């Protein structure tokens, strides 16, 4: 499997030289400076590719785009969506022309991933990302004051949410809002309470079925271009995999994934297997999902979470948490072996260690939440060890 690393671009504190040192060879990045809905030009794509690949001694290549953000007008199927389909298609053509053939994207409305703590303290001084159900409920019910929000939470969660809200200072409440808004990595929109209410109002008539239909429309619009450009689209699961703020989520279960892949049956319509996102829903069987959709997995995020009965969860060690990471990696290596025997040019699956604990010298550095160097390096090293052991045992190619 191709070992890759998410890089936030030339302003990232973690340099390309650093990435070379941790042993990754593929770069996962996006043109975050280009606003959502604006086409990525040939020059912009070529410039970023050149930055990554010019120094041949580093042995790096631009392996995966993560991501081209999908404009909210597309998710809403609004009248103005037509122009955004075209700019998305133009971006795909320019990426394909530059030899970049894998695009990770998501179809989560308004928010991408959601957490309530960006630096939850761990023993020894490290920190982790965490989602506390009662804090999110406090935001939803008391700060946002969304009509009907209380119906989405248990009595116990609501009681703890009220206690948290009553004890919270204004600074604490502002910090919670900022933390929830941090789930828009690389995006331009950052909402205050009023702005978030406005966005939610736009989705008032969009339920699960409608959002599904809007995703199918998006795929029908862009997959033919992706096929022509030699680009494989890989949808990222919802994080967390359940409705938030009254918004539907449609990539949360194996059945959701099957619907999406069957709706537009093309090799260019595929999956980003994220074990952390799907793992936050205890009913999801990640090894089974990896096996079921193996031939449509184009990109892999490997991380682990530990879950609580109330819906809270925390980023765990990569080989800890609730997901059997060894079984997942074995399923992926089995699929990779099948592709290699079939002479598939995409036989090597790109994966990256997703998220990581902030630890050691990274503590307090201004890295993107979940993306410190040392925590991810630890995760990559652990997964590399699993891969090597399985390859030795079963004769898999790495």
Residues 302 and 378 in one domain: yes
Same domain for 91 and 36, yes or no, is yes
271 occurs within a structural domain: yes
301 belongs to the catalytic site: yes
Name the active-site residue from 134, 142, 355, 357.
355
Edge-to-edge strands of the sheet including 127-131? 117-121, 127-131, 313-315, 305-307
Residue 228's DSSP bridge partners are none
Cβ within 8 Å of residue 123, ≥6 positions away: none
Query: From CA 228, how far away is CA 231, in angstroms rounded?
Result: 8
Domain of 292, in residue numbers: 2-113+207-393
Q: Which of 166, 200, 234 is the C-terminal boundary of a domain? A: 200
Q: Are 90 and 239 in the same domain?
A: yes
Residues 294 and 368 occupy one common structural domain: yes
Judge if 241 and 217 occupy the same domain: yes
Q: Which of 274, 298, 317, 357 is catalytic?
A: 274
The residue annotated as part of the active site, out of 301, 317, 318, 362, is: 301
236 flagged as catalytic? yes
User: Does 227 lie in the same domain as 97?
Assistant: yes
pLDDT tens for 98-117 read 999 999 999 999 988 899 99
Kindly state whether residue 23 falls inside one of the protein's structural domains: yes
Residue 357 appears among annotated catalytic residues? no
89, part of any domain: yes
Of 141, 167, 200, the residue that ends a domain is 200
Q: Which contacts qualify for 143-149: CB closer than 8 Å, 24 or more apart?
A: 143/173, 143/176, 143/177, 143/193, 144/193, 144/196, 144/197, 144/245, 146/197, 146/200, 146/245, 146/246, 148/246, 149/245, 149/246
What is the pLDDT at residue 112? 87
Domain membership of residue 299 (yes or no) is: yes
Per DSSP, helices labelled H in the chain are: 16-22, 42-53, 72-76, 81-97, 133-137, 155-167, 170-181, 193-202, 208-229, 254-263, 275-279, 286-292, 325-341, 373-394
Which string of b and e fits 183-222 if b means at least 16 CB within 10 Å? bbbbeeeebeeeebeebbeebeebeeebbbebbeebbebb
pLDDT for position 274: 98
- 389 found inside a domain: yes
Q: Quick one: 305 and 245 in the same domain?
A: yes
Do both 121 and 88 map to the same domain? no
Which two three-digit tokens encode residue 306? 């530990």
Residue 344 domain-assigned (yes or no): yes
Q: At 276, phi and psi to the nearest 5?
A: -75, -45
Catalytic residue selected from 71, 142, 236, 318: 236
C-beta of residue 4 within 8 angstroms of C-beta of residue 64: yes
pLDDT at 397: 80
Q: Which two three-digit tokens encode residue 264?
A: 């537009």
pLDDT, one tens digit per residue, over 153-189 is: 999 999 999 999 999 999 999 999 999 988 655 455 6
Domain stop point among 173, 200, 227: 200
Q: Is 392 labeled as catalytic in the residue annotation?
A: no
The 10 Å Cβ neighbour count of residue 227 is: 17
Residue 279 lies in a domain: yes
What is d(CA 350, CA 63) in angstroms, rounded to the nearest whole number?
Answer: 8
For residue 398, being part of any structural domain is answered with no
Task: Let me know whether 66 and 171 are in one domain.
Answer: no
156 and 73 within one domain: no
Residue 398 and residue 382: Cα distance in Å, rounded? 15
Could you give the number of structural domains in the chain?
A: 2
Let me know whether 377 and 264 are in one domain. Answer: yes
pLDDT of residue 167: 98
Out of 152, 239, 354, 362, the active site residue is 354
Asked if 58 and 156 sit in the same domain, the reply is no
Task: Please tell me the predicted confidence (pLDDT) of residue 396.
Answer: 86
How far is Cα of residue 331 from the mean position of the Cα atoms in its chain? 21
Active site residue 355: yes
Give me the residues of the chain with pLDDT under 70, please: 183-189
């Amino acid at each position: 499997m191709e070992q890759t690393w998410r890089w936030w671009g030339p302003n990232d504190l973690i340099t390309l030289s650093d990435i070379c040192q941790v042993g990754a060879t593929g770069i996962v990045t996006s043109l975050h400076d280009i606003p959502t809905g604006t086409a990525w030009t040939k020059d912009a794509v070529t410039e970023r590719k050149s930055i990554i690949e010019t120094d041949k001694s580093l042995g790096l290549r631009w392996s995966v785009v993560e991501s081209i953000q999908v404009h909210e007008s597309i998710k809403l199927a609004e009248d103005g969506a037509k122009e955004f389909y075209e700019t998305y298609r133009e971006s795909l053509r320019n990426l394909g022309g530059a030899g970049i053939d894998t695009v990770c994207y998501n179809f989560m409305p308004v928010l991408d991933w959601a957490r309530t703590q960006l630096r939850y303290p761990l023993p020894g001084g490290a920190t982790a990302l965490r989602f506390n159900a009662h804090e999110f409920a406090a935001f939803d019910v008391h700060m946002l004051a969304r009509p009907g929000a209380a119906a989405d939470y248990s009595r116990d969660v609501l009681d703890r949410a009220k206690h948290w809200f009553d004890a919270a200072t204004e600074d604490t409440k502002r910090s919670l809002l900022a933390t929830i808004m941090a789930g828009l990595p690389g995006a331009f929109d950052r909402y205050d309470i009023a702005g978030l209410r406005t966005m939610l109002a736009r989705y008032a008539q969009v339920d699960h079925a409608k959002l599904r239909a809007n995703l199918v429309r998006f795929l029908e619009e862009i997959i033919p271009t992706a096929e022509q450009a030699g680009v494989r689209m890989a949808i990222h699961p919802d994080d967390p995999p359940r409705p938030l703020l009254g918004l539907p989520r449609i990539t949360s279960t194996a059945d959701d994934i099957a619907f999406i892949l069957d709706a537009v049956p093309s090799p260019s319509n595929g999956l980003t297997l994220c074990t952390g996102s799907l793992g936050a829903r205890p009913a999801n069987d990640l090894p089974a999902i990896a096996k079921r959709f193996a031939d449509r997995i184009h990109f892999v995020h490997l991380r682990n979470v530990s879950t609580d009965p109330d819906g809270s969860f925390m980023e765990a060690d990569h080989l800890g948490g609730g997901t059997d990471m060894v079984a997942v990696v074995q399923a992926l290596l089995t699929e990779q072996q099948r592709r290699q025997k079939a002479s598939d040019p995409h036989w090597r699956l790109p994966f990256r260690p997703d998220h990581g604990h902030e630890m050691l010298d990274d503590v307090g550095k201004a890295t993107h939440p979940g993306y410190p160097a040392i925590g991810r390096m630890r995760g990559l090293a652990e997964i590399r060890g699993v891969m090597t052991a399985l390859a030795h045992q079963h004769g898999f190619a790495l």
